[in-house]
Amino acid sequence: MSGCGFQTDQYQLLDFGAGRKLERFGNWIIDRPCPPAERASKSVAELWQQAHVRFDRKDGLKGKWSLLQSDAKVDFGKNGGDFPSWSISFQDQFRLNLKLSPVGHLGVFTEQAENWHWIRQQVKRLQHARQEPVNVLNLFAYTGGSTLAAAAAGACVTHIDSAGNIIKRARENAASSGLSEASIRWIQEDVFLFCQRELKRGNQYQGIILDPPSYGHGPKNQVWKIGKHLLPLLEICGELTRKQRGFVLMTNHSPDFSSADLEASFADAIFGSCGAGARSSRMTLTARTGDRLDAGCAVRFP
């Protein structure tokens, strides 16, 4: 999987190297850390001088934003706290509101763009075959890009995330996209517990999307560790789609798993066979220079 899917005036990877990446989000050019770029060299040095803001990691995940362009004409505030939010659009499907965060995130993972195209295609395919709404479960759903891709295609989506402030941002994205009235359930819950309860309730989904982190916490401080919890969660996902499985998508950025390992775990948990049904591929972003930056792994069915 390569490329992006955004129009270049909305998002573009300009360059990467020396452990950093330079990206344009709308009118702003952002310089941020990027571990997969550590072994690469920057291709166009003068491009980096155009950055408006830069993020440097200071303590674990957290760090500091610095304003680089004195003519940016914004009130930067303490560590970027007053930097204005802005938005970008994904094709003609939905909009995502962005803002600087203390951990260097903006509110979008642009490598997911090709998956959003794929989700739309799967929902449309299933609707045509079923002639009825498609129920999609989005786990670790973040600010809702995959939720909005499915909802814009006509799916009924259940959006699960453990952070209330992130769900609020996802709902704001839906409103900005004209999807406030779409069939979306917004639920703050521990992903594993929610799926266990859905299984007990006998609920079924035609599609499941999940982007599990390496480590995380539920709303009641439940611990998530990908090495311990991923396989049992995938097994439940297999049960939740057993009767009418239309598609399953898992993406991951953990360095602890290779694409082959993820594909095997996915296939074994969902289908009961390592050789059945799943296809993995690397997610990449293509810079303006034509160079490709690794951005994790996607495993898809079908």
Q: Token pair of 177, please?
A: 């996209």
Average pLDDT over residues 95-113: 96
List residues bridging with 294 in a β-sheet: 284
Residues 6 or more apart whose CB falls under 8 angstroms from that of 66 comprise 53, 54, 55, 56
pTM: 0.95
In tens, the pLDDT along 208-255 reads: 999 999 999 999 989 999 999 999 999 999 999 999 999 999 999 887
Q: Which two tokens stand for residue 219?
A: 């709303």
Out of 3.40.1010.10, 3.40.50.300, 3.10.310.10, 3.40.50.150, select the CATH number for domain 111-301.
Answer: 3.40.50.150
**What are the residue ranges spanned by the domains of the chain?**
11-98, 111-301
Residue 137 is encoded by which pair of tokens?
């479960």
CATH of 11-98, one of 2.40.50.140, 3.40.250.10, 2.60.40.1180, 3.40.920.10: 2.60.40.1180
How do residues 117-160 score in pLDDT, each as one tens digit? 999 999 999 999 988 899 999 999 999 999 999 999 999 999 99
- Name the one residue in this structure whose structure tokens are 């599990």: 212
- State how far the Cα of 180 lies from the Cα of 103, in Å rounded to an integer: 28
The span from the first CA to the last CA of the chain, in angstroms, equals 15
Q: Within the chain, how many helices (H) and strands (E) appear?
A: 7, 16
How many other CB atoms are there within 10 angstroms of residue 72's CB atom? 15
Using the structure block, give the residue that is written with the tokens 């914004």. Answer: 74
Sheet of 135-139, strand order? 184-188, 156-161, 135-139, 207-210, 247-252, 292-301, 279-286
